[in-house]
Amino acid sequence: MSLAALAFVCALSIWFGSKDIPFASTWDVLWHNDGSRDAVIIHTVRIPRTLLGLLVGAALAMAGALMQALTRNPLADPGLLGVGAGGAAAVVAAIGFFGISGVSGYVWFAFVGSGIAAVLVYVLGSSGRSGPTPDRLIMAGAAVSAVLYALIYAVLLLDPITFNEFRFWNVGSLSGRNMDIVLPLLPFFLIGIVLTLALARPLNAIALGDQTATALGAHIGRTRVLGIIAVTLLCGAATAAIGPVTFVGLAVPYMVRLITGRPTLGAAVQHDRRSDPADRIGRARPRDQRTSGVAGGYRDRVRGRPRLHLAVPAWPGDQAVSVSTAVRGRPLRIGQGKLSIRLDIRATVTCAVMLAAIVGLAVFSMTTGDYPLTASEVVATILGSGPPGAEFIVLELRLPRLLAAILVGGAFGISGAIMQRLTDNPLGSPDIIGFTTGAATGALSVIVLTSGGMLAVAGGALAGGIVTSVLIYLLAFKHGVQGFRLVLIGIGMSAMLYAANQFLITHASLQDAIAAAAWQVGGLNGRGWEHVEPLAWAMLALLPFAVFFSHRLAILQMGDDAAKALGVRVESTRLVLVMVSVALAATGTAVAGPIAFVALASPQIARRVAGSPYPGPISAGLMGALLLLASDLTVQHAISDTQLPVGIATGAIGGLYLAWLLAREFRRR
């Protein structure tokens, strides 16, 4: 049935388009190229476009199924290997440094860049005696992607010409592709597909766990290496051909599992049934010279969202963890009875060191700049008796920006820690599951459609984040809210909103598009007391809830039944924690934009530094504040000639530091 539906969709793709051609004429010139105008359209435009849609759709779907099987993480996407980031970085280099323009000129740059990024991720993720493991590959991919995207936006925001050309490639489109693009990449598609089919049996064994797979005779290391090669070939060729198309590799395996129960082999056919109709919808609409039609990339994301809701029950819920894993033993007890406190010595020392580092960076931030001051002069100015001219510098410029960096970083870090523990997944941050994307949609709507000021943009971001979070929670509610279901609904909503954001950017003027992109990266330029005060009140109100309910997160990770047996009100606790995480992410995004990587990486970096089995809200908040403050000082002083958004530095510094932690951790093993 799927093959019949695929054949029908292919026929429609060749027949249907912006120029009406009768079906009889289409059928005739399909087999007899008479050189007429209709024949030229069919053979040089529609057939190559349909063939490329088939290849790219199959490649992305199979790459997604491979990544989910290799990492044993249902949130895994081909982009986790850094393939998309590597391809995008290479395209930016081709445009900005080599002056190359046109799709045919980007192809090999994108393909080689994708391959190099995947190799870097594999090398970083496979260090150590045990070789590549799912968690290592995920964290290594996140680190490499963060650094690459930081470099990409550093170039784009400084070069409007490169940005203008890149923004249309970045949404992913089949427009303008012909057989000159298809034929050179065809061998890479075919090799990747053959490798994927050959790996189906050993991947089934790996799904049972490494020890069981080894007992069954599977070669785990060889299977993972070949799987990564296949993902690189498939996703790299797809990115080179049409640009980065997100969400396909994540969503299609769920749809196939829902229908057939075999995600890897069936994903190719199932995606093509979605990909070609999405492409036809776009090219049938009126087009202008700038956008050349609605790109298939964000049409796929919009159309894929509702199907993901149906696919939610297809994957089993969160796995229960043991008490010894959820609750760390041998703490330091202070006090007696009900007033006693248990503290982990290493985690406590780590938090104290991070707090001292924040204080040191704060002193450096307040005393250095174009108007240098001593620490005593800063204190005197705050108390009202400082030197002449220092009051404006300290109280109106430096202090609000310093407090904004600390509060926003802390809000993102705590929000990420709560969400990752609620979902029991290191990828379950507000960045991934749609909350910050909804805030970005509200802000971009204000920037592009109304040209509002900074406060209007902040209001739009706050409204967008709150509305998105409410919708996600309502859609995820079914006899309660399971963490995994919440993540899947959030990812679907995020994909739809990301498509809307890309649509706004590609249809905006260059000036508005650059402003929107800069806001999406996130920055602290121009932040004053009108931004700090609401965020400070929000932190004061929400932090006690985050700390008070944090110990219940460990109990929730043991499963709902065990949590109820221990006296925890599961649904009310989960609802409170979701609301706290959403409120922190929404207010932080409203103040500084969706600063990349902080909410995702801060909990994981804090967990590794503190040696904890899970990310705690306090340590994650301190790490987020430290990361954002250090990044802001970097963009202020190390890159003093420009006003780059701080989100660029957070991606670069956080990604490099996470990569260093992973490498050190692997060497110890």
- Residue 665 is predicted with a pLDDT of 60
Q: What string of H, E and C letters represents the secondary structure of 413-431?
A: HHHHHHHHHHHCCCCCCCC
Q: Tell me, what's the pLDDT at 406?
A: 95
pLDDT value for 216 = 78
Report the pLDDT averaged over residues 620-640: 87
Cα gap 567→106, rounded to integer Å: 59
* Closest to 275 in 3D by CA, of 58, 451, 76, 502: 58
Mean pLDDT computed over every residue of the chain: 78
When pLDDT is cut at 50, 70 and 90, the band that residue 555 belongs to is confident
Determine the Cα angle at 121 with ends 117 and 122, to 5°: 115
pLDDT at 317: 37
| CA-CA-CA-CA torsion sign (18, 20, 21, 23) | positive
Backbone angles phi and psi of 343, in degrees to 5:
-125, 135
Report the range of poorest mean pLDDT among 366-370, 507-511, 610-614: 610-614
CATH class in words for 323-327+345-668: mainly alpha
pLDDT of residue 127: 66
Answer yes or no: is pLDDT of 546 > 80: yes
- For the cut 80, the answer to whether the pLDDT of residue 223 exceeds it is yes
Least confident of 86-90, 195-199, 251-255, 443-447: 251-255
Residue 429, both tokens: 């941050």
Calculate mean pLDDT across residues 552-571. Answer: 76
DSSP state for residue 318 in the 8-state scheme: P
- Summarize the confidence of residues 252-279 as an average pLDDT: 57
What is the pTM assigned to this prediction? 0.72
By the 8 A CB rule, do 66 and 202 touch?
Answer: no
Tell me: the pLDDT tens digits for 563-605?
778 777 777 788 888 888 888 888 888 888 888 778 888 888 8
Most confident of 3-12, 407-416, 498-507, 569-578: 407-416
Give yes or no for a contact between 240 and 104, defined as CB atoms under 8 angstroms apart. no
Task: Rounding to the nearest 10 degrees, give the CA dihedral for residues 376, 381, 387, 389.
Answer: 130
pLDDT digits (tens, 9 = 90+) for 647-659: 888 888 878 877 8
Break the chain into its structural domains and give their ranges.
Answer: 7-281+293-314, 323-327+345-668
> Phi, psi (5° rounding) for residue 436?
-70, -30
When pLDDT is cut at 50, 70 and 90, the band that residue 645 belongs to is confident
Give me the numbers of helices (H) and strands (E) for the chain, helices first please.
30, 2
Q: What are the residues facing 343 on neighbouring strands?
A: 332
Torsion on CA atoms 214, 224, 651, 56, rounded to nearest 10: -140
Quickly state the pLDDT bin for 322 (edges 50, 70, 90).
very low
pLDDT(622) > 90: yes
pLDDT digits (tens, 9 = 90+) for 595-618: 877 888 888 888 888 877 777 888
Q: Decide: 279 and 9 in contact? Cβ < 8 Å.
A: no
pLDDT at 329 over 60: no
Q: What is the CA radius of gyration of the chain?
A: 26
CATH of domain 7-281+293-314: 1.10.3470.10
pLDDT for 259 beyond 60: yes
Distance CA 4, CA 10 (A): 10
Q: How confident is the model at residue 30 (pLDDT cuts 50, 70, 90)?
A: confident
**Residue 350 confidence class, pLDDT cut points 50, 70, 90:** confident
**pLDDT tens digit string along 39-83?**
888 888 888 888 888 888 888 888 888 888 887 776 677 777 788
* Mean pLDDT within 223-237: 87
More confident position, 592 or 491? 592
End-to-end CA distance of the chain: 50
Q: What is the mean pLDDT of residues 84-100?
A: 87
Whether the CA torsion 345, 348, 350, 352 is positive or negative: it is negative
pLDDT of 161 above 50: yes
Q: At what angle do helices 375-382 and 345-367 cross, to 10 degrees?
A: 90
> Where does the pLDDT of residue 527 fall: very low under 50, low under 70, confident under 90, or very high at 90 and above?
confident
Res. 624: pLDDT tops 90 = yes
